[in-house]
Amino acid sequence: MSAMLEDERDDAIRMIRDSAAGIAPRGGDRKRIRALRFQSPGFDPAVWRQMGEQGWIGLRVPEEQGGAGLGMGAFCALAEELGAALAPEPLVHGALSARLLAEAGATGPLERLVAGEALVLTAWQERAGSFDVPGTPEAPRLFLPMADGAQSFLVPLRQGEGFSLILQPAEGADLTLEPTQDGGSFGTLRPRGGETVGTLSAAQMEAALEEAALGTAALLLGVMDQAFAMTLDYLRTRQQFGKPIGSFQALQHRAADLKVQIALGRASVESAAMLCDRADAPAAQRRAAIARAKARAADAALLVTRQAIQLHGGIGYTDEADIGLYLRRAMVLANQFGTAALHRRRFAAAQPEVEA
């Protein structure tokens, strides 16, 4: 990448982070997060519209189709900020639908989605622990986040070597909801009718899901980074035996270990994003980088947030303590778009000669 292009990329990422602070500040409006927990639809439609107005939902959609046309570096920077703020709005899932609709040429639904006027969720997953898209016509589609707030569902159906995309209205849908640890919900959809809005190849579908997996890794990076920052503040202010507990060497060692895990997670996410933004990147190399980033981010986020609870002491285990919100979010995000174990297998398959 030339110096000029690298400067442009860095400027775009800085602007994205600055714009995120206006809607979802890193410190977070945790009163808003708590007010939305275990309520329908689990997110704020007004904030979703703001995200559309900012161009976030269509960040990866080409400009000629109404999007921002930015790269994965910018998208991951945005996702990290939203993860740090615990924003419950399902941006990664909305962006996945936007990319699929754009590639299928479905102009009408795409316009409403990227404007934040509607939430379209892609109903692709048929079983837990899988990254495959069987596209079985009548199979229930699982793990649809905040499905109660969706206006429609994008259902891929297998058609030869590719997929036809069915846009099914949420009204009248056979949908069941289950609460999640973080106060949101997962929906199970049983496909029934709808309008065919386009077709996609298997390669297009896989590439879109891989980008969603990387976006989820960036969300996890934001969650663990902010949880760690809160924990450091607590260690500096909590007094025991007349001095801050952060001065105790044993706790310093634990904090240092967590900082290393966050740094490794950040390096994996950022290197994968840079690779995705290279037009000449080999598919296997890209697949391995994304798999490594998602596996590392999932494991590290669970480790950091659990350790953060422990470092807060007894108060960390109460629901009133904000630090617990970060562990709950990490638990929900860790398995979305593939578990850590699944992505380690994908990494090994893509680069068998490299130790995972």
Which CATH number goes with the domain that contains 254? 1.20.140.10
- 269 within domain boundaries: yes
309 closest CA partner among 259, 250, 252, 234: 234
Within-domain flag for 278? yes
CB 269 within 8 A of CB 326: no
Residue 134 within any structural domain of the chain: no
Answer whether residue 285 is part of any domain.
Answer: yes
Lookup: tokens for 307:
């350790």
Within-domain flag for 267: yes
Full residue range of the structural domain in which residue 260 is found = 204-350
**Amino acid sitting at position 354:** V
Domain membership of residue 305 (yes or no) is yes
Q: What is the pLDDT of residue 126?
A: 97
d(CA 243, CA 143): 47
Establish if 298 belongs to a structural domain: yes
Q: What's the pLDDT at 4?
A: 44
Which residues lie below 8 Å from residue 224, measured CB to CB, with a gap of 6+?
Answer: 261, 262, 265, 297, 300, 301, 304, 305, 326, 330
Tens of pLDDT along the chain (356 residues) come to 555 467 677 887 888 898 898 888 887 778 999 999 999 999 999 999 999 999 999 999 999 999 999 999 999 999 999 999 999 999 999 999 999 999 999 999 999 999 999 999 999 999 998 999 999 999 999 999 999 999 999 999 999 999 999 999 999 999 999 999 999 999 999 999 899 999 999 999 999 999 999 999 999 999 999 999 999 999 888 767 677 766 677 888 899 999 999 999 999 999 999 999 998 999 999 999 999 999 999 999 999 999 999 999 888 889 999 999 999 999 999 999 999 999 999 999 988 665 44
Q: Is residue 231 part of a domain?
A: yes
Residue 177 tokens, joined: 């909801």
Phi, psi for residue 169 in degrees, rounded to 5: -65, 145
What is the number of structural domains in the chain?
Answer: 1
**What is the end-to-end Cα distance of the chain in Å, rounded?**
27
